[in-house]
């Protein structure tokens, strides 16, 4: 397996399963409802916002892997448009998984020598650093989603006991 194939596999696994943490985005989001995804707890991000945020960076870097310019903005990465319906929420979650496969496939096509070239500009480091950064970023926010999902479940169970 080449380095790019290994990185692609690692990226794919955090999205659809098979990584050594046994947690993946697809499984975590599979049973989250719109109400749960958009439930605000204090000043924490919602599951929906975190899903959008993770996918924002995948989309941004995917465009670079496809030959386009780097065009992203940290502030915009949290600006999820309002979700009104269950279908809109499912579309967002499904898009994250579809885009992850496009991203993994683009990594697989990346020539190995490209890994240690500057990622659009020397200030961003090389491709290797950025591809692994996307994986680490996804794991980080996936952990937040798992905790939010558990807290929401506890809150719902507590509320149900007293209704």
CATH, residue 80: 1.20.120.450
Q: When comparing pLDDT for 99 and 162, which is higher?
A: 99
Predicted local distance difference test score (pLDDT) of residue 163: 72
How many domains is the chain partitioned into structurally? Answer: 1
Range of the domain at 135: 3-162
Q: Please identify which residue in the block is written with the tokens 């967002």.
A: 92
Q: Please say if the pLDDT value at position 6 is more than 80.
A: yes
Residue 17 CB partners (closer than 8 Å, separation 6+): 24, 26, 27
Quote the pLDDT of residue 162: 81
| pLDDT, tens digit, 9 for 90 and up, residues 13-60 | 999 999 989 999 999 999 999 999 999 999 999 999 999 999 999 999
What pLDDT is recorded for position 158?
82
pLDDT of 146: 98
Q: DSSP characters for 26-55?
A: HHHHTT--HHHHH---TTSPPHHHHHHHHH
Q: How far apart are CA 52 and CA 75, in angstroms?
A: 12
- pLDDT tens-digit readout, 52-110: 999 999 999 999 999 999 999 999 999 999 999 999 999 999 999 999 999 999 999 99
Q: What's the pLDDT band for 142 if we cut at 50, 70, 90?
A: very high
């Amino acid at each position: 397996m080449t380095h790019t194939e290994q990185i692609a596999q690692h990226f794919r696994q955090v999205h659809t399963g098979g990584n050594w943490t046994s947690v993946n985005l697809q499984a975590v989001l599979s049973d989250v409802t719109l109400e749960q995804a958009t439930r605000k707890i204090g000043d924490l991000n919602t599951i929906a916002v975190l899903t959008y945020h993770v996918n924002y960076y995948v989309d941004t870097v995917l465009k670079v892997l496809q030959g386009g310019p780097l065009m992203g903005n940290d502030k915009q990465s949290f600006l999820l448009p309002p979700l009104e319906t269950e279908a809109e929420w499912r579309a967002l979650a499904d898009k994250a998984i579809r885009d992850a496969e496009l991203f993994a496939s683009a990594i697989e096509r990346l020539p190995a020598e490209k890994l240690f070239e500057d990622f659009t500009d020397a200030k961003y480091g090389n491709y290797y650093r950025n591809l692994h950064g996307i994986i680490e970023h996804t794991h980080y926010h996936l952990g937040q989603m798992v905790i939010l999902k558990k807290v929401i479940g506890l809150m719902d169970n507590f509320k149900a006991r007293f209704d």
